[in-house]
Amino acid sequence: MNLINKKWCKNILVFVTFLIGLITIPSVQTFAGEGTPDWGYGGAANPTQWAELSHDFALCELGRDQSPINIVSAVKEKPTPIFFNYKPTPLVVVNNGHTLQVNYAPGSTITINGEKYTLLQFHFHTPSEHTIGGKAAAMELHLVHRNDAGQLSVVGIMMKEGAANRLINEIWKYIPAVGETKTVSRTINAATFLPKTKTYFSYPGSLTTPPCSEGVRWNVLVEPITVSKEEISIFQKLYQVNARPIQPVNGRVIELHSK
């Protein structure tokens, strides 16, 4: 088979995989995990190459509604508050090789426009994956939720350098080795992260990591929280950069929800 035919076959295979992805996304969203190709933020497995690593990652290149985005020109919509009902959970910290993640026990929820989502986990990126008006924050917190239909809703909180964050400081005390999980005999509450003002931007997007599945509702709070320079440095020693580049908006409407 000559080079042109090989390239043509490869393009057809990727396109077919993309179409299958559109059909199967998501009554149940999945994250890349065990058994998937190694991916990262630098070298040969960087975000520009994710779609080349596996057919399962085709949406990372071919998807139309990808995340993160630069949040700009938001349309002010009627107030649609997020009702947070976060409860204490045992502290379970996972160092999965891409970020630090805290798994959450069942029972904590958010409700948006009458739809309830259960908090599954939260994790961190540096610098922030989303930008607001072209400006990135030092870090970004993602609180990942899922409803009974398997649809995801993520709350993003910008983290700027400033005063120390007592919850971050507590979590950082129990950072496990890469690939390991540490369970601590104490509880935390993600409500501690929430800023006073709950005004937020929303838009339809995707996972920011492979397989880049779409159908994710994004809710990015306008008001940032603070973390100290030392707390940022501790995370960056583990993950110097773990943020996917900004993706095209492609005509999506970004809504602003405020009182």
Task: Say what the pLDDT of residue 29 is.
Answer: 35
pLDDT along the chain (259 residues), means of 10: 44 40 36 67 97 97 98 93 98 98 98 98 98 98 98 98 98 98 97 98 98 98 98 98 98 95
Could you state, in order of their start, the residue ranges of all structural domains in the chain?
64-257
Q: Can 98 be counted among the known catalytic residues?
A: yes
pLDDT of 209: 98
> Which pLDDT value is given to residue 36?
64
Contacts 24+ apart (CB under 8 A), 104-110: 104/190, 108/190, 109/85, 109/145, 110/82, 110/83, 110/84, 110/85, 110/145, 110/153, 110/155
Look at residue 139 and give its three-state secondary structure: strand
User: What integer pLDDT is reported at residue 93 of this predicted model?
Assistant: 98
For domain 64-257, give its CATH number from 3.40.50.970, 1.10.150.120, 3.40.190.10, 3.10.200.10: 3.10.200.10
* Rounded Cα gap, residues 195 and 198, in angstroms: 7
Active-site residue among 98, 123, 145, 257?
98
Burial of 195 (0-12, 13-18, 19+ CB in 10 A): middle
